Amino acid sequence: MKTQPTLLAVLLAAAFAAAPIYPTAALAADAPAIQAKEGWYKNLVDFEFMKQQVEIPPKKGVVIIDSRPDTRKFDPGHIPGAINIPDSKFDKMVDRLPADKNTLLIFYCEGVDCTLSHQSAAKAEKLGYTNIKVYPAGYPEWVAKGMQTSVSGAWLKKQLDEKAPLTVIDARPARVFEKGAIPGAINVPDSAFDKNLDKLPADKKAAIVVYCGGLECVLSNNVADKLIKLGYSNVKTYPEGYPEWSKLYASAPAKVAVEPGKEKGSISLASFERLLKENPAGMLIVDVRDAKEFAKGSLPGAVNIPIGQLEKQVDSLPKDKPTVFICGTGARAGEAYDMIKLLKAELPVHFLDAELKFQGDGKYTVKPN
């Protein structure tokens, strides 16, 4: 007789242990955090469930779908790894859904007052998908929980075209970065993060986007985490990274990236020397010393525009490739940069902050300041 209560207790414990960990609409009464509303989809998941599904590289057998409009919502910020199928364009974009109808689909949108994800989930069910969930708290809760967020390539391209205040960080190794990078990106390899802290913006509120080698690459996530731990509060990732960027926006073979130096407007010596060696036609070198100094020697391919004549010749500077100003000490080169930025801020100009000594036979020595 004493064994019966014990057996009953065991059976009850087993029953509770087998219950779903994450609430659905049917369990909403037991889970006040997710109270189903009229028009909501039947299968709901919470933040803890969602957190387990979001991974880079994306988790196999799981597709996360952002049902919000693209330009205004998804592009400037979304859950990492999510694809964008706006509910208003669902019927035109069903080809983005996986072929396997048993794939776990998780829809989300702009929080508990947004019905787009629920509408899209119902549409997916009509198409025969059998494993559909909705994360009703959506993007607002994800952000409020302090989780990483991502941007689209379209948004990043727009920011760069408009010269928005933005620091773009390439988290790949230097040898990969040198073969091609997003224009204006600085190289802060994940493996050498601590050695490149001087490249980071001083303002901890500065907008930063980190990318690497695509959805299978975790380096951008790693660097983003390290930035957040340092106190940077406006950090996002571009998970699709350089593979997508080069496919969408590279109209010509990738050029060696211009990496900024320590001084504002300067080009790093390493970046300058790579350009000079691998792609000298990719930049214009302007020696701003006097004509007599220039005649005694300069860098191969350099043109001479003395600092006193530069203002009159500003229209001769190219718009489609960088101009790098040089001199003997970096002082006049920096002055030239400041002058051009005042006259025509849109021109892609830089200066070499270094001590250059010319030997008259095309040879030179260089020492960074």
Segment 29-33 mean pLDDT: 43
**Degrees to nearest 5, angle at CA 112 with 111 and 114:** 70
The CATH 3.40.250.10 portion of the chain extends over 3-144, 153-249, 269-368
Torsion of Cα atoms, 209 then 212 then 107 then 52, to 10°: -100
Axis-axis angle for helices 153-161, 241-249 (nearest 10): 60
- Contact assessment for residue 342 and residue 313, using Cβ atoms and an 8 Å cutoff: no
Give 214-230 pLDDT, tens digit per residue.
999 999 999 999 999 99
| DSSP symbol at 264 | T
DSSP string, 226-243: HHHHTT--SEEEETTHHH
Mean pLDDT, the chain, rounded, equals 87
Higher pLDDT, 194 or 321: 194
Quote the pLDDT of residue 31. 39
Higher pLDDT, 269 or 280: 269
pLDDT(20) > 60: no
> If one looks up domain 3-144 in CATH, what number appears?
3.40.250.10
Give 125-156 pLDDT, tens digit per residue.
999 999 999 999 999 999 999 999 999 999 99
| DSSP symbol at 285 | E
Superfamily of domain 269-368, CATH level 4: Rhodanese-like domain (3.40.250.10)
Rg (CA), the chain: 28
Q: Which segment of 3-12, 245-254, 332-341 scores lowest on mean pLDDT? A: 3-12
Residue 363's pLDDT band, with cuts at 50, 70 and 90, is: confident
For the 153-249 domain, the top CATH level (class) is alpha beta
Quote the pLDDT of residue 161. 87
Higher pLDDT, 80 or 35: 80
DSSP string, 151-217: --HHHHHHHHHTT-S-EEEE-S-HHHHTT---TT-EE--GGGGGGGGGGS-S-TT--EEEE-SSTT-
